[in-house]
């Protein structure tokens, strides 16, 4: 009986050491998994931020394409001016690539000249978040994530909510271009409560044109002439 008790007491230090090693190993694995999760999350967030930037930049650039080299330059500047940032809005994107093509499949050209027919734009962006755990086990300190987006001006042949018979407001009836400036944007369909602000295109963002838009009844808001179908027909077919 005494001998058996001594044996049990002698075995306890061995078991305590085993539990200590197991606990240490488990904690090390947990810390490693946590560190890996932190690094993976940083890469995932940076990837999403890069994609959001590429999408917004491509859309902003595509709006400026007008078949001229000036439009190409303006498209590039618009893409690079998109304010999206990565790293939870702490880092600006750099080395962004903007190129153009005549079809969605390319080939892609950085500065086409002449620029006629170039209506597709591709924006590629990258981010390199700093890693916290992977370097501890011999990995790199940073990892680059990349994103790309393509946008284009596509001719529409049908409208679910037809823009016709709406028309931009004439700025100068005596001018051959009706007082419009090439490349400027004008309001096609006015809101129910027009005002000088973001709901009005830049070419009409002036009290003069807002007041003109308010002269007609609230139901007009950019209709050609009047809301009568017969008069709209005359305006389209007979320059009424």
**Spatial separation of the C-alpha atoms in residues 91 and 52, rounded to whole Å:** 14
By the 8 A CB rule, do 162 and 222 touch? no
Q: Do 125 and 10 lie in a common domain?
A: yes
Name the domain count of the chain. Answer: 2
Final residue in a domain of this structure, among 127, 152, 177? 152
Q: Do 92 and 189 lie in a common domain?
A: no
Position 227 scores a pLDDT of: 64
Q: pLDDT tens across 11-47, in order?
A: 455 555 556 666 656 655 565 556 677 777 888 888 8
Position 223 scores a pLDDT of: 64
Ordered DSSP codes for the chain: -HHHHHHHHHHHHHHHHHHHHHHHHHHHHHHHHHHHHHHHHHHHHHHHHHHHHHHHHHHHHHTT--SSHHHHHHHHHHHHH---EETTTTEE--S-EEEEESSTT---BSS-SS-TT--EEEEEEEE-PBPSSGGGGT--SB--EEEEEEEE----S--TT--TTB-PPPS-TTSTTTT--TT----SS--SS--SSTTS-GGG-SHHHHHHHHHS-TTTTTBSS-S-HHHHHHHHHH--
Position 93 scores a pLDDT of: 82
Q: Do 160 and 146 lie in a common domain?
A: no
pLDDT in tens, the chain (240 residues): 545 555 555 545 555 555 666 665 665 556 555 667 777 788 888 888 999 999 999 999 998 888 889 999 999 999 998 888 888 778 888 788 999 999 988 899 999 999 888 999 999 998 888 877 777 667 777 888 889 999 998 776 665 555 556 778 888 888 888 899 988 888 887 776 778 877 788 899 899 988 888 776 655 566 665 667 777 777 666 666
Position 94 scores a pLDDT of: 78
- Tell me which residue range forms the domain holding 178: 156-240
Final residue in a domain of this structure, among 136, 152, 168? 152
Final residue in a domain of this structure, among 123, 152, 181? 152
């Amino acid at each position: 009986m005494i001998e058996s008790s001594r044996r049990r007491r002698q075995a306890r230090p061995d078991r305590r050491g085993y539990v200590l090693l197991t606990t240490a190993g488990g904690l090390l694995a947990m810390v490693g998994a946590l560190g890996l999760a932190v690094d993976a999350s940083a890469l995932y967030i940076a990837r999403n931020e890069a994609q959001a930037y590429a999408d917004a930049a491509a859309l902003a650039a595509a709006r400026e394409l007008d078949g001229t080299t000036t439009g190409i330059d303006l498209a590039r500047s618009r893409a690079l001016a998109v304010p999206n940032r990565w790293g939870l809005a702490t880092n600006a994107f750099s080395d962004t690539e903007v190129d153009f093509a005549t079809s969605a499949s390319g080939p892609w050209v950085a500065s086409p000249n002449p620029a006629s027919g170039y209506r597709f734009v591709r924006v590629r962006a990258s981010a390199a978040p700093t890693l916290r755990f992977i370097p501890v086990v011999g990995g790199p300190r940073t990892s680059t994530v990349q994103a790309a987006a393509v946008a284009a001006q596509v001719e529409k042949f049908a409208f679910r909510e037809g823009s016709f018979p709406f028309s931009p407001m004439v700025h100068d009836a005596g001018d051959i271009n009706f007082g419009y400036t090439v490349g400027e944007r004008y309001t096609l369909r006015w809101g129910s409560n027009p005002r000088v602000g973001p709901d009005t295109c830049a070419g009409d963002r002036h009290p003069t044109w807002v007041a003109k838009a308010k002269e007609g009844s609230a139901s007009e808001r950019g209709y050609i002439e009047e809301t009568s179908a017969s008069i709209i027909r005359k305006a389209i077919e007979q320059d009424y």
